[in-house]
Homo-oligomer: A and B are copies of this chain.
Amino acid sequence: MRKGLIVQKYGGSSVANVERIQIVAKRVVAYRKKGYDLVVVVSALGDTTDELIELADKINAHPPEREMDMLLSTGEQISVALLAMAIDKLKFKAISFTGSQVGIITDTRHTRARIVKIGADKIRQALKAGKIVIVAGFQGMTPDQDITTLGRGGSDLTAVALAKELSADECEIYTDVEGIYTTDPRIEPKAKKLEEITYDEMLEMASLGAQVMQARSIEVAKKFDVPIHVRSSFSEKPGTMIIKEAKKMEDVVISGVTLNKNEIKITVCDVPDHPGAAAGIFKELSGGGVNVDMIVQNVSHTRKTDISFTVPRADVSKAKRITRRASSKIGAGEVIVDEDVARISVVGVGMKSHPGVAAKMFDTLAKEKINIEMISTSDISISCIIKKKPAESAVRSLHEKFGLGK
């Protein structure tokens, strides 16, 4: 008797070599034996994708994106074939499909395509025939049958989208960590694995520096209410459930503390305080492909004001150049770039109904003699820009003050 349908996704590190593929095969078969139907989404083996990119780069530093997708999609195709062989070796029936074959139709934006629809008939037929279905992650095809890839975190997206399309009972994302933690265990050894977290919290965590899942696939999971279970492929322990509303929500104010050192701060001084001035800066930055994250502008008491914002560290020189040009264009003053910054955030849906979280955060930082340079808040998070050096000890202090280690 069928117990239900589970979609499992295994990342590149889970299928990095022959032995790991065999471990994944055994795990898949164990679920099959319990009576579950299984759709397994697989990424490319270990560093395959990077190796292919390197090979392409030797031939053409700016390869046509269509051909890049043609090239990169082979990585997952190799994985699915090998996993199907490993499952066959264990005497279970499996069948592998490329993204094109299962009908994952995307738009035509090569290397960063978006899924338009999924025609999962082939999967349904194979499941009906009692087979374990293995699908290449990260890829699809345009209506014209050109192969596309989905960009960073694409395999997660494949898994979530298939779970939605097939109304799966659960979508398991296997990775090399055991779940989502209250903070980075490398910074705070007392960090605890969360049993559950809401989509919104996870979205804040993802965009704030937790690297387990890309924001894009969580957004899709939230939109279609697909329950996600993030867990380790090297362990039998349950991981973290990402769900709509956490059951234990009442007691929990803060779910986690995150740290992001990959942004820098830019301040434009003496921006004329009239409509369109700020827009002038951010339009130029966006046109230049620079992703602006936090933006802070204070109430102005004179006719001029200062605007501060953060951009990815990788874009620092481009952002500097564009901002200086824009600043002089709108008649603003000096542009100050500060690379010695870190962003520290507390995240939790509980803060909506618990006042005093911000005060507690600022107080904790103050006691550590840490200066707060920028503050930004959302419904479920509070972020502060501070100096880099005390950032890690600040994480530990906040982790303790909000009782996350318990």
Contact residues of A with B, CB < 8 Å?
A: 18, 21-22, 52, 55-56, 58-60, 63-64, 66-68, 70-71, 73-74, 77-78, 80-82, 84-86, 88-89, 95-96, 98, 100-101, 122, 145-147
Instruction: Please tell me if the beta carbons of B58 and A18 are within 8 angstroms of each other in the complex.
Output: yes
A10 to chain B, nearest CB (A): 15
A47 to chain B, nearest CB (A): 15
Chain B residues whose CB sits within 8 angstroms of the CB of A122 once the complex forms: 145
A97 to chain B, nearest CB (A): 9
Contact of A59 among B22, B58, B68 (CB under 8 A): B22
A19 to chain B, nearest CB (A): 9
CB contact under 8 A between A89 and B60, given known A84-B67, A96-B67 = yes
Chain B residues whose CB sits within 8 angstroms of the CB of A59 once the complex forms: 18, 21-22, 82, 85-86, 89
Instruction: Please tell me if the beta carbons of A85 and B100 are within 8 angstroms of each other in the complex.
Output: no
11 contacts between A and B (CB under 8 A): A56-B85, A59-B85, A59-B86, A60-B86, A64-B84, A64-B88, A66-B95, A67-B96, A68-B81, A71-B81, A100-B100
Chain B residues whose CB sits within 8 angstroms of the CB of A18 once the complex forms: 55, 58-59
CB contact under 8 A between A85 and B67, given known A18-B59, A78-B74 = yes
Q: Which of A52, A56, A80 has the most CB of B within 10 A?
A: A56
Closest B residue to A61 using CB positions? B89
Instruction: Please tell me if the beta carbons of B70 and A81 are within 8 angstroms of each other in the complex.
Output: yes
A121 to chain B, nearest CB (A): 11
Instruction: Please tell me if the beta carbons of B70 and A80 are within 8 angstroms of each other in the complex.
Output: yes
Q: 7 nearest interchain CB pairs? A: A71-B81, A74-B74, A70-B81, A60-B85, A63-B85, A60-B89, A67-B84
Known: A64-B84, A67-B88. 9 other contacts (CB 8 A): A55-B82, A60-B88, A60-B89, A67-B81, A67-B85, A67-B96, A70-B84, A71-B77, A73-B77
Chain B residues whose CB sits within 8 angstroms of the CB of A77 once the complex forms: 70-71, 73-74, 77
Closest B residue to A93 using CB positions? B64
Chain B residues whose CB sits within 8 angstroms of the CB of A146 once the complex forms: 101
Chain B residues whose CB sits within 8 angstroms of the CB of A81 once the complex forms: 56, 67-68, 70-71, 74
Chain B residues whose CB sits within 8 angstroms of the CB of A55 once the complex forms: 18, 82
Chain B residues whose CB sits within 8 angstroms of the CB of A89 once the complex forms: 59-60
Instruction: Please tell me if the beta carbons of A78 and B71 are within 8 angstroms of each other in the complex.
Output: yes
Chain B residues whose CB sits within 8 angstroms of the CB of A71 once the complex forms: 77-78, 81-82, 85
Q: Which of A60, A66, A73, A122 has the most CB of B within 10 A?
A: A60
A120 to chain B, nearest CB (A): 14
